[in-house]
């Protein structure tokens, strides 16, 4: 025994970094297991919705195990965009035109080869990508694939000037305006009036969707909604994104993307805006002040942000909505997430994980494929289409019957 201890001591002396590495590994693993791996906080006053989640969504009872080597919020946010696979999805594109002459591109994944439903009643998922995203974003492709595997139809709403659509009028899109989404929902429902329609929005798309749900209330034409990584309080979000590291990693990059989109259509805008000033925007706030707010008739960026905020609209939602956020999301700080409101109003379940970043939610050793976010999406969407009529809605909705096998 003495010889063994002496040999161990000698080995450590010859390799002085090993004890340090071993200690650091133990500390890291301990921190990960006891401070990172946790069940999510689920804020839900609505007992009917709470019971529905616990009955049909097993993920609600699970701990979230972030990828152990990249659980930091910014790492999750960046690596999801860099590492995640892009499933192959075959879209059929449809161009529709708004009353003001704008063009919107809808990318359909009809899924008619799946015989679980007939075409006229096949449940449909309407997806809204993030700020500069389109139907080819990895998270959209994964959601479409998951929904198709369950037998559902998907349609992706690409904002004006995004995803292959042409900008035909001097108007783009913003978080507060729901006119284009209303137009799209009406179009989809006119095309498939007997098919239930569920909306799913990610980041900015989730903000637009939530604003739509709040504005339409009981007249909403969606059976339910899913909002992922939304910025609940835009004022708090821009403050977070203007912190030095977030400014460097995210804010300036997104502002550059927005200014490039404006530059591509400068002929459309130069008679309406000071485009030289717009193109010098180095932050999202500057771009919104010089361009977005003016485009939609707001007297200031503050007025625009006030109307875009959704944290004060929880009470107005009249259909079930599942909201998934990470408490370390650099785009939506934890203190701005309306947990108390969700605990005091019906029709909303707010799921908040301790980690996950912005549209991250990576898990597994090498997080290339499906992750925690997609499991919530899949289980909730499937449950709403299969059991929502009987367990979530007060009124009698059109029943969706599967084709007998």
Q: Measured on CA atoms in the order 42, 45, 50, 52, is the torsion positive or negative?
A: negative
Under a CB-based contact definition with an 8 Å cutoff, are residues 161 and 265 in contact? yes
- Asked if 73 is an active-site residue, the reply is no
Catalytic member of 107, 180, 328, 329: 329
* Sheet order of strands, 124-128 included: 41-43, 348-353, 321-326, 224-228, 197-202, 124-128, 153-158, 103-109, 92-97
- Asked if 203 is an active-site residue, the reply is yes
Helix (H, G, I), strand (E, B) or coil at 103: strand
Q: Where are the alpha helices (DSSP H) in 226-360?
A: 234-241, 244-246, 252-264, 266-269, 275-278, 284-287, 293-295, 301-308, 339-342
- How far apart, in Å, do the first and last CA atoms of the chain sit? 70
- Asked if 186 is an active-site residue, the reply is no
Under a CB-based contact definition with an 8 Å cutoff, are residues 154 and 124 in contact? yes
Instruction: Provide the token pair at 91.
Output: 């879209």
Catalytic member of 73, 134, 135, 203: 203
Per-residue CA distances from 301 to 288, 296, 337 (Å): 6, 11, 21
In this structure, the dihedral spanned by the alpha carbons of residues 57, 80, 65 and 204, taken in order and rounded to 10 degrees, is -50
Catalytic member of 142, 311, 355, 358: 358
Kindly list the catalytic residues.
203, 329, 358
């Amino acid at each position: 025994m003495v010889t063994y201890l002496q040999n161990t001591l000698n080995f450590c002396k010859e390799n002085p970094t090993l004890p340090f590495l071993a200690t650091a590994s133990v500390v890291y693993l301990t921190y990960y297991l006891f401070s990172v791996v946790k069940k999510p906080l689920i804020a839900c006053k609505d007992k009917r919705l709470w019971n529905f989640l616990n009955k049909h969504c097993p993920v609600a009872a699970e701990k979230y195990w972030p990828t152990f080597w990249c659980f930091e919020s910014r790492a999750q946010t960046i690596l999801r965009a860099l590492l995640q696979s892009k499933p192959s999805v075959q879209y059929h594109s449809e161009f529709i035109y708004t009353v003001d002459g704008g063009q919107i591109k809808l990318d359909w994944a009809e899924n008619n080869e799946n015989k679980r439903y007939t075409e006229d009643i096949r449940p449909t998922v309407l997806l809204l990508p993030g700020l500069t995203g389109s139907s080819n974003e990895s998270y959209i492709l994964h959601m479409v694939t998951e929904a198709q595997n369950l037998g559902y139809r998907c349609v992706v709403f690409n904002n004006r000037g995004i995803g292959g659509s042409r900008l035909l009028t001097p108007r783009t899109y913003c978080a507060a305006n729901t006119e284009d989404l209303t137009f799209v929902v009406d179009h989809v429902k006119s095309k498939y009036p007997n098919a239930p329609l569920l909306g799913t929005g990610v980041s900015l798309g989730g903000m637009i969707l939530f604003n739509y749900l709040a504005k339409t209330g009981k007249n909403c034409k969606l059976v339910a909604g899913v909002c992922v990584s939304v910025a609940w309080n835009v004022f708090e979000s821009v403050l977070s994104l203007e912190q030095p590291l977030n400014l460097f990693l995210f804010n300036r990059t997104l502002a550059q993307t927005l200014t490039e989109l404006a530059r591509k259509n400068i002929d459309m805008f130069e008679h309406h805006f000071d485009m030289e000033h717009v193109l010098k925007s180095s932050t999202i706030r500057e771009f919104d002040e010089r361009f977005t707010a003016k485009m939609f008739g707001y007297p200031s960026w503050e007025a625009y942000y006030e109307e875009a905020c959704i944290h004060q609209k929880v009470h107005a939602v009249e259909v079930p909505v599942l909201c998934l956020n990470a408490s370390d999301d650099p785009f939506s700080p934890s203190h701005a997430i309306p947990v108390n409101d969700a605990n005091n109003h019906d029709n909303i379940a707010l799921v908040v994980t301790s980690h996950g970043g912005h549209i991250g939610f990576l898990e597994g050793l090498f997080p290339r494929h499906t992750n925690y976010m997609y499991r919530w999406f899949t289980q909730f969407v499937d449950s709403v289409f299969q059991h929502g009529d009987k367990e979530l809605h007060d009124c009698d909705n059109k029943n969706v019957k599967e084709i007998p096998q």
